[in-house]
Amino acid sequence: MVKKAKQKSPLLGQSNAVIINRLFLIAFAICAFLSAELAALTRGDSLQDMFFWNDAYSDHFMDFFNTIRDSSDLTWVYQRSTIYPPLSVLLMHMFASMIPSELAKIPFADRYEMQMSQICVVLFFMVAFVSVLLLAKMIDRYMEKAGVDRWRYLLIFFLIISFPVTYCLERGNTSLIALVGCAFFLFFRNSENKVVRELSDLALAVAAGLKMFPAVLGIILIYDKQYKAAARTIVYGVAAILLPYLLVKLITPETGGLASQIEAGLASGELDPEVYNTDGSVGRLFTNLLKWANKRSYFTFNSTSAANIAYFLGNANVISSESAQTFGIVLFLVTEAIALIAGFFCKKEWQKIFIVCYLMLNVHAVAMFYTLIYVIPAFVAFLCDPSRKNKRSKKALSLDIVYLILFGIQIIPLPYILRPFQNYVDAFIFVNFNVLSPNNLNQSLSCIAFQLIFVVLLIEWIATALKEKKRNKNAAKKKDLEKTAVMA
Of 453, 444, 459, 463, whose CA–CA distance to 379 is shortest?
453
For 85-119, the three-class secondary structure string (H helix, E strand, C coil) is: CHHHHHHHHHHHCCCCHHHHCCCHHHHHHHHHCHH
> What is the C-alpha to C-alpha distance for residues 382 and 376, in angstroms, rounded to an integer?
10
pTM: 0.91
Per-residue confidence band for 1, with pLDDT thresholds at 50, 70 and 90 = very low
> What is the C-alpha to C-alpha distance for residues 307 and 53, in angstroms, rounded to an integer?
24
Mean pLDDT for the stretch of residues 221-226: 95
Average confidence score pLDDT of the chain? 88
Q: What dihedral do alpha carbons 62, 360, 294, 284 form, nearest 10°? A: -70
State the DSSP H helix or E strand holding residue 465, giving kind and residue range, or none if neither: helix 441-487
> What is the C-alpha to C-alpha distance for residues 408 and 404, in angstroms, rounded to an integer?
6
Amino acid occupying residue 480: D
Phi (first) and psi of residue 28, to 5 degrees:
-65, -45
Mean pLDDT for the stretch of residues 83-99: 92
**102-116, 158-172, 269-283, range with the lowest pLDDT:** 269-283
Q: What is the pLDDT of residue 117?
A: 93
Highest mean pLDDT among 124-128, 280-284, 464-468: 124-128
Per-residue confidence band for 211, with pLDDT thresholds at 50, 70 and 90 = very high
- Quickly list DSSP for 362-378: TSTTT--GGGGGGGHHH
Cβ atoms 384, 142 nearer than 8 A? yes
Mean pLDDT for the stretch of residues 257-271: 76
Buried b (16+ CB within 10 A) or exposed e, 80-112: eebbbbbbbbbbbbebbeebeeebbebeeeebe
Q: What is the pLDDT of residue 366?
A: 87
Q: With 0-12 CB in 10 A as exposed, 13-18 as middle and 19+ as buried, what is 226?
A: middle
Q: Is the pLDDT of residue 54 over 60?
A: no
Cβ atoms 99, 68 nearer than 8 A? yes
Per-residue confidence band for 12, with pLDDT thresholds at 50, 70 and 90 = low
Of 47, 46, 91, whose CA–CA distance to 68 is shortest?
91
Cα 116 to Cα 45, 52, 119, 124: the distances in Å are 22, 19, 9, 13
Q: What is the pLDDT of residue 257?
A: 73
Q: Is the pLDDT of residue 267 over 80?
A: no
Q: Is the pLDDT of residue 138 over 60?
A: yes
End-to-end alpha carbon distance in the chain: 68
**Which pLDDT tens digit goes with each residue over 342-387?**
999 888 999 999 999 999 999 988 888 888 999 999 999 999 998 8
**Which pLDDT tens digit goes with each residue over 405-418?**
999 999 999 999 88
Q: Is the pLDDT of residue 258 over 80?
A: no
Q: Considering Cα of 237, then 238, then 244, then 247, what sign does the dihedral take?
A: negative
Of 213, 192, 196, whose CA–CA distance to 286 is shortest?
213
Residues contacting residue 368 through CB under 8 Å, at least 6 positions apart: 302, 303
